[in-house]
Amino acid sequence: MREPLRDAERLRHILEAVDTIESSRKIHPAKEAEKDPIVYFGFVKHVEIIGEAVYMLSPEFKAAHPEMDWGSIEGMRHVLVHGYYHIKPKQLWDTIDIDLPELKPSIEKILEELEKEDA
């Protein structure tokens, strides 16, 4: 069962994973990372963590933030977890290079609003 009180913590998990990806991306260009399965699947795992954190957000929280495309984020998680043998590097890098820079400020804003409510 999902716990609404844990939504803020899930958002923090998302931001931690995004930060890890961003810092690792500076060290490991895509083509280099693809040659090293440990590095490559480290990126995969962190995108998966983002999807899992979204998956674990309470339905009430997601409904309160319809501006977010929660379904697409969860969908990517399902591909990575259940279709790991079908992962296309371009899809992963597009998620990292295009989607995450858009996701991060939105999550930061929501988290900031939650923290103001709790203060």
As a whole number of angstroms, the distance between CA 29 and CA 15 comes to 21
Is 82 catalytic? The answer is: yes
Short-list 73, 38, 35, CA closest to 54? 73
Is 77 catalytic? The answer is: yes
As a whole number of angstroms, the distance between CA 16 and CA 112 comes to 15
Q: Which of 10, 13, 46, 77 is catalytic?
A: 77
Tokens linked to 5: 């009180």
Just list the catalytic residues: 77, 82
